[in-house]
Amino acid sequence: MPVPDSPGKVVAIRGAVVDVAFEGGRLPQINEALTLRDPVIGAVTVEVQAHIDDVTVRTIALRATNGLKRGTPAERVGGPVEVPIGPAVLGRLLDVAGDVGDSHGPLPHDVPRSPIHRAPPPFRAEHRETELFRTGIKVFDLLTPLAQGSKAAMFGGAGVGKTVLVMELIQAMVASYEGISVFAGIGERSREGHELLNEMQTAGVLDRTVLVYGQMNEPPGARWRVPLTALTIAEHFRDDAQRNVLLLMDNVFRFVQAGAEVSGLLGRLPSRVGYQPTLGTEVSQLQERIASVGTASVTAIEAVYVPADDFTDPAVMTIASHVDSMVVLSRAMAADGMYPAIDPVASSSILLDPLILGEEHVAVANAVRQTIEHYRELQDVISLLGVEELGADDRRIVERARRLQRFLTQPFTVTEAFTGIPGRSVPLEDTIAGCKAILAGECDDWDESALYMIGSLEEAREKQKAAEEAAA
């Protein structure tokens, strides 16, 4: 006859690590949730991470443990952490356990819930038809196109514009995108969360959006599991409601960082550069769940912090191996005022294929990349001897590359309050036509400044004409 499961009690607390003992019955499984009920601080959800001995498990807390005492009773939940799903969560701000973080009252008592730990969809179930997103951002659409069900990651160090680009993509897509948006703020600042919430309300798209936050001041366990909470909500809309979902994550590096903190707290030996030994497994378990199934898809846009601008960092390389479009943000371009500071040479996409995008798009994208790359190869010579010492062909390539770099800059809607320049959304056809004209030499006589921070080439033509008239 099986022994009934007994309740547990806390026997040790070391910050976010809580050991719980069970005197009889089976031990809770790995990733199973427990609820610790303290009469002073309330309920604390913890997640089992290791079996210490026959009666003790080691857990990671998903909220602060300040004031928790030994002897506090622990209740079994009977499975992983479950979070609310369905239409009731639209327009709401949630934390890692699905608790409401806004001022609109609690969720209904009968809201359905789903566990945050799930297997990725089988490969045979994944939907492979390619339908492209149009973001209206010139350099993004031209060089790193995004398709439904794909994953795009923006890699960059501190202060080069990752969050601004994510917020502009939200602005660009909510206008034309009819699906659901789920935003996962991983280790975000409170200020960024408030700004995003206010912008969603102003744009009138909050009723189609779910915001899930694990903030910087929360324990590592909360930051570590926030993307899984967001993914669970996204999977419900994809699988049960058959809706396309846009999943935005800022910042995936902080997910890895939180995992490293958890690993250290659990006493595991670190791996390369101090990261957790389970780095590859944790990233793949997250990324493999982002997929298209049947007629609906989850499309991910992820911001990834690059520590010390080191793109060989193990976390950065592990995340990069899972994405379809790799958008690299350059500090040198940001310093030169080339916003968005997307490096056209280092950025890449597996979707840049003539069978998907057409011959013209791919040919223009490759020509733009080659022209700018050739210019960079000549920069040492230019800095030493001056551009006058180059041959006629090289000088022409340099001039066109500089004009291409300026044409690919663009004012953003989210920065309009700071710059005073209204944001622009540029159709892909106008971007391709503008790049072709510059490559063909139609703009060789124009001033470079006419191409800076504009939308289509027509706008640059008007600026150039106005400048000529003013000079005359």
From the candidates 188, 218, 261, 282, give the one annotated as an active-site residue: 188
Name the nearest CA neighbour of 398 among 425, 418, 378, 420. Answer: 378
Q: Who's near 151: CB < 8 A, 6+ residues apart?
A: 287, 290, 299, 300, 302, 322, 323, 324, 325
Count other Cβ atoms within 10 Å, centred on residue 153: 24
Looking from the CA of 1 toward its CB, the CA atoms found within 13 Å total: 1
Token pair, residue 221, equals 């366990």
Which whole-number Å values give the CA distances from 396 to 72, 139, 371, 386, in the listed order?
75, 22, 10, 14
Catalytic entry in 26, 69, 189, 376: 189
Say how far apart CA 108 and CA 199 lie, in whole Å. 26
**How many Å apart are CA 83 and CA 62, to the nearest integer?**
13
User: Could you confirm whether 373 is annotated as catalytic?
Assistant: no
Q: d(Cα 68, Cα 415) in Å, to the nearest integer?
A: 44
Greatest CA span in the chain, whole angstroms?
A: 99
Q: Is 162 designated active site?
A: yes
Q: Are 334 and 347 spatial neighbours (Cβ–Cβ below 8 Å)? A: no
How many whole angstroms separate alpha carbon 91 and alpha carbon 207? 4
Q: Show the DSSP H helices in 240-378 as ranges.
A: 252-265, 279-287, 314-320, 331-335, 354-357, 359-377
CB 303 within 8 A of CB 252: yes
The number of residues making up the chain comes to: 472
Which is catalytic among the residues 162, 223, 238, 254? 162
How far apart (Å, rounded) are the C-alpha atoms in residues 11 and 57?
Answer: 10
CB 230 within 8 A of CB 247: yes
Give φ, ψ of 114 to 5 degrees. Answer: -140, 145
Q: Tokens for 161?
A: 């514009």
Interhelix angle for 359-377 vs 392-407, to 10°? 120
- Cα gap 205→57, rounded to integer Å: 44
In the annotation, is 389 catalytic?
A: no
Catalytic amino acids? 162, 188-189
